[in-house]
Amino acid sequence: MTAPQAKTWSQRGRTPAVRVRGRSRRRISIAALTCYKPGHQSRLIYRPRRDDGPRDGRKSFSWRDYRGLLTAAHQQLGGPIVLVWDNLNVRKAADLREWAAARDWLTICYLPPYAPDLNPVEGIWSLLRRGWLSNVAFSTPEHLVQRIRRGLRHIRNRSHLIDGCLAETGLTIRPT
């Protein structure tokens, strides 16, 4: 056997451990917004971000990445946005708060700390993990990105799945 295909035995001597080549520390982060408006179909807006090495020192979304997502969402939705966010520290960054305060179309409210059960986007991640990402051995980071995009497109095109994520939280949308 060649080195990448060689099997080694664990210390117990019973279970073979397979050497895996191509280990990667690359990471893929995704930010998503579930968008609800009475009388309209629910929408999913998302942005992936790959970390292929030192860009700005961050491995996940920065406040600038969230600013770009919110600007794109405003353009796509064509109206004011009431954003309900969890308490992730980057979403409470002073620069992002300052930028948001200058936008009359954006209102930000925060969920209580440690309340993922009130966040409909958590339902999106659950659907993605249980569906398009389950039981798959990803051969490359591009393969993973392709599956993520396919799954998110599938969810995005089925507003009843997005509605179900809101219903699962027990929250409702009431126009004021």
Instruction: Provide the residue ranges of all domains of the chain, joining segments of one domain with +.
Output: 25-169
Burial 103-118 (b: 16+ CB within 10 A, else e): eeebebeebeeeeeee
Q: Which residue has the tokens 């960054």?
A: 93
Q: What is the pLDDT of residue 14?
A: 45
Q: What is the mean pLDDT of residues 107-114?
A: 90
What span, in angstroms and rounded, lies between the C-alpha atoms of 5 and 13?
19
Name, in order, each residue with C-beta under 8 angstroms of 2's C-beta and a sequence gap of 6 or more: none
Q: For 150, how many CA atoms within 13 A lie in the half-sphere containing its CB? A: 10
Q: What is the pLDDT of residue 1?
A: 43
Range name among 18-32, 64-78, 115-129, 146-160 with the lowest pLDDT average: 18-32
Mean pLDDT of the chain: 82
**Helix (H) or strand (E) run with residue 29 in it:** strand 27-35
Tell me the whole-structure pTM to 2 decimals: 0.76
What span, in angstroms and rounded, lies between the C-alpha atoms of 18 and 3?
11
Q: 25-169, what's its fold?
A: Nucleotidyltransferase; domain 5 (3.30.420)
In 3-state terms, what secondary structure has residue 143?
Answer: helix
- Band of pLDDT at residue 5, cut at 50, 70 and 90: very low
Higher-pLDDT residue of 69, 38: 69
Q: What is the pLDDT of residue 173?
A: 78
What span, in angstroms and rounded, lies between the C-alpha atoms of 146 and 144?
5
**pLDDT single digits (tens) 44-84:** 999 888 776 655 566 778 899 999 999 999 999 999 999 99
Q: What is the mean pLDDT of residues 92-98?
A: 93
Does the pLDDT at position 134 exceed 60? yes
